[in-house]
Structure 1
């Protein structure tokens, strides 16, 4: 198959699962191109070098000047290059009825020029649902050809719906050829919004288990319990709740230390919270780390903590990859009853759970986990097995290919693109 992946920007350090999916399809003999359509600056690979090597020269990001005047000045050159590739009839400037706001702000011309020399695809895979609008319009205009798969991953099925209302994706339900959600929680939400149940499958975000070999959990011993939290430092990840839970446990005499991996706008506030809580000797901030460094930190940790919570803008998480990686390595895990996370972390079976946004309940869950140290080896082996069976990359690739085959075997794709909306009131893509 010839497959096009569409992302906001590529590669992004927070999205190694997209690079891994592309490399795995290439390993299976398929051709994959990757396009970043949202004009954002990529943050780089966090994938294994072998994955990066397979994707060399296979991705392209669309960029346009932020100032409208500069966009307008460069438009003749962009249109000339597009016309040389596909003829004058392909120019978006001649199709305002299709591109509408993308025509008015000129971004559709920059996107079309980047897509124009690709030829037809079997599959057009939008890795975030917000990109479906762009791809459908380019398909209607004849720039793209192929069956459209729309993937719900997180912000697109939570924050975007909160901002745009329950009908924000109505234009997709009949025009797309298939849908994917990265957890059952988001699948059910999409169905509730109008997605045909027979057109959507659950395919998790895969991880490369070769990079996270299992080892038995570290015994607690007599020293401090080493805890680790990994993720973007935003309120949605609940790191402030982790710090408060740690303060409560420390006040009760528990010897705990916490390593925080990640960067984000909340870091200054978190550092101040740590200082005010008297935890400066117990908490360290390491900033963003690559996967090799994260693996080393996981191997040195007794407990992994993930306190995801619903953001003020309605954002929610699927089973996040950092939890999968910790469970794959063999680190006892404490997480929250939030989004799709309970599909991965099951109370008393593969970890422990707390109510989201509740420091007291998180402290109680951590205490519960620490008091059951004798059960850690069995719990962690079950956790590893769940990750292998549900999120191992080979299984995920099989599931994705089945989605593609079903789309290709279905009848002609819908042609209701005339009902496509003006540009969605999208939440800002994750950086």
Structure 2
């Protein structure tokens, strides 16, 4: 099969789930092209090891980067339009059709994203990795720029944050024109069905991890007495990290021998630095910045507890069962997370870890205190977490399933086992 992956930017260190699916498709003998529809990322100094191993950048076709400055965006856009006009005059004119594509034409997003397709592309499968990109897949196919079966995946922001801004009918054309849908958890599948997606055309297909890279280790109270806690995630509102920092301040009053490692970067870094200083936690809380997978494993290997405090953003943004939790659970760490989005599908409260309400630093502090004072539960929780991840989120099993779905769709013989799960 020939498979095209539509992504916004590629590669992005915080999206290993996309890399895993791309590599899984290649490993199973299929031809893959990657379309980075928003151009090149500004910084690729650190990339997932599989990007280099499989030379994925060489497989990537980059749309022109759309400038933030409106004047320069138009100057560059019109220049690109004139330069490429002879390739497909009729379509070039349609890309500027504001009555059809409204804001996507007015902002020139339609033009910039469509330029790599002016000379028609043909694939067996076109897999749009977020459904906001699936909308463009539908339009490009309608314009005759690309042909193939369309799959669109609901991953999180596209079925939460996107809706308050654009309205609940924004996906009606997508639901009608797309051949099949995936959702990375039951929570988002149910939201898609409630919005109008045919329940017989959507299947829950989780994001997998390579369990062999996240080796299991039983956790015991450390000889040096220092309890090491970790969080991995972007430093943005949705990840809820500030509530763990506040919880650490409470816990440290009674259990001062703590170390809290935050792996990641983002727009709230300066805010967190100030919060850490205000709470006199500079000796406990460490902002480690972005890390590659191997470096993350090295940090988690030394830790005893993992916290993933996701919250619903003010813009409505929500999480699926996050891969960082799966990685920590695969390594045997007891976890604390929130009753949020699809996370309860991953973490069984009281079994593999604890679930607390969103934005509740007191509740996080209570569960941290319990785990610190009851290290005898760490081993059982770690074993339960590892078993869950190995059963439901093993990357190789999920990639086998994904390629099977591709083949079923190409041959118009979607397996009954997927249809039954959606009824």
Give the TM-score normalised by the residue count of structure 1: 0.88
CA shift at 1:71, angstroms?
1.6
**Residue number in structure 1 paired with 2:176:** 174
Whether the 8 Å contact between 2:96 and 2:106 is mirrored in structure 1 is no
* Cα separation, 1, equivalents of 2:95 and 2:113: 15
Whether the 8 Å contact between 2:19 and 2:50 is mirrored in structure 1 is no
* Cα separation, 2, equivalents of 1:259 and 1:292: 16
Whether the 8 Å contact between 2:2 and 2:124 is mirrored in structure 1 is yes
**Residue number in structure 2 paired with 1:228:** 230
Task: Name whichever of 163-172 and 14-23 sits farther off.
Answer: 163-172
Secondary structure of the residue that 2:157 maps to in structure 1? Answer: coil
Note closer, same or farther for the CA distance 1:50–1:243 as it changes in structure 2 (3 Å cut): closer
Secondary structure of the residue that 2:35 maps to in structure 1? Answer: strand
Secondary structure of the residue that 1:146 maps to in structure 2? Answer: strand
1:397 corresponds to 2:399: yes
1:47 corresponds to 2:48: yes
**Residue number in structure 1 paired with 2:284:** 282
**Residue number in structure 2 paired with 1:340:** 342
Please give the per-residue CA displacement for 1:214-236, whole angstroms capped at 9, x wherever unaligned: 22224334512011111111121
Note closer, same or farther for the CA distance 1:140–1:98 as it changes in structure 2 (3 Å cut): farther
* Cα separation, 1, equivalents of 2:296 and 2:200: 39
Whether the 8 Å contact between 1:334 and 1:369 is mirrored in structure 2 is no
CA RMSD of aligned residues (A): 2.3
Q: 241, 247, 264: which one pairs with 2:266?
A: 264
Q: 66, 73, 86: which one pairs with 2:79?
A: 73
**Residue number in structure 1 paired with 2:366:** 364
CA shift at 1:253, angstroms?
3.5
**Residue number in structure 2 paired with 1:60:** 61
CA shift at 1:352, angstroms?
1.4
Please give the per-residue CA displacement for 1:153-203, whole angstroms capped at 9, x wherever unaligned: 011011001222221211111111111111111111111111111111111
CA shift at 1:53, angstroms?
2.2
Q: Relative contact order: is structure 1 or structure 2 higher (C-alpha 8 Å, sep ≥ 6)?
A: 1
**Residue number in structure 2 paired with 1:239:** 241
Secondary structure of the residue that 1:145 maps to in structure 2? Answer: strand
Secondary structure of the residue that 1:57 maps to in structure 2? Answer: helix
Secondary structure of the residue that 1:72 maps to in structure 2? Answer: helix
Q: What are the ranges of 5 or more consecutive residues in structure 2 without an aligned counterpart?
A: 415-423
CA shift at 1:102, angstroms?
4.7
CA shift at 1:4, angstroms?
0.7
Whether the 8 Å contact between 2:38 and 2:65 is mirrored in structure 1 is no
Whether the 8 Å contact between 2:37 and 2:63 is mirrored in structure 1 is yes
Whether the 8 Å contact between 1:218 and 1:302 is mirrored in structure 2 is yes
CA shift at 1:118, angstroms?
6.4
Note closer, same or farther for the CA distance 1:43–1:185 as it changes in structure 2 (3 Å cut): farther
Whether the 8 Å contact between 2:96 and 2:111 is mirrored in structure 1 is no
CA shift at 1:152, angstroms?
0.5
CA shift at 1:46, angstroms?
3.3
- The correspondence of residues 22-421 of structure 1 with structure 2, limited to 5 A, is 22-39=22-39, 41=41, 43-44=43-44, 46-49=47-50, 52-66=53-67, 67=72, 68-80=74-86, 83=87, 88-93=89-94, 96=97, 102-103=104-105, 105-117=107-119, 119-410=121-412
Note closer, same or farther for the CA distance 1:165–1:103 as it changes in structure 2 (3 Å cut): closer
* Cα separation, 2, equivalents of 1:339 and 1:105: 31
Whether the 8 Å contact between 1:46 and 1:291 is mirrored in structure 2 is no
**Residue number in structure 2 paired with 1:8:** 8
* Cα separation, 1, equivalents of 2:192 and 2:9: 24
Please give the per-residue CA displacement for 1:136-165, whole angstroms capped at 9, x wherever unaligned: 111011110011111010110110012222
Task: Name whichever of 239-248 and 326-335 sits farther off.
Answer: 326-335
Question: How many residues end up aligned between the 2 structures?
Answer: 407
Task: Name whichever of 396-405 and 103-112 sits farther off.
Answer: 103-112
* Cα separation, 1, equivalents of 2:236 and 2:31: 36
* Cα separation, 2, equivalents of 1:112 and 1:272: 43
Note closer, same or farther for the CA distance 1:361–1:94 as it changes in structure 2 (3 Å cut): closer
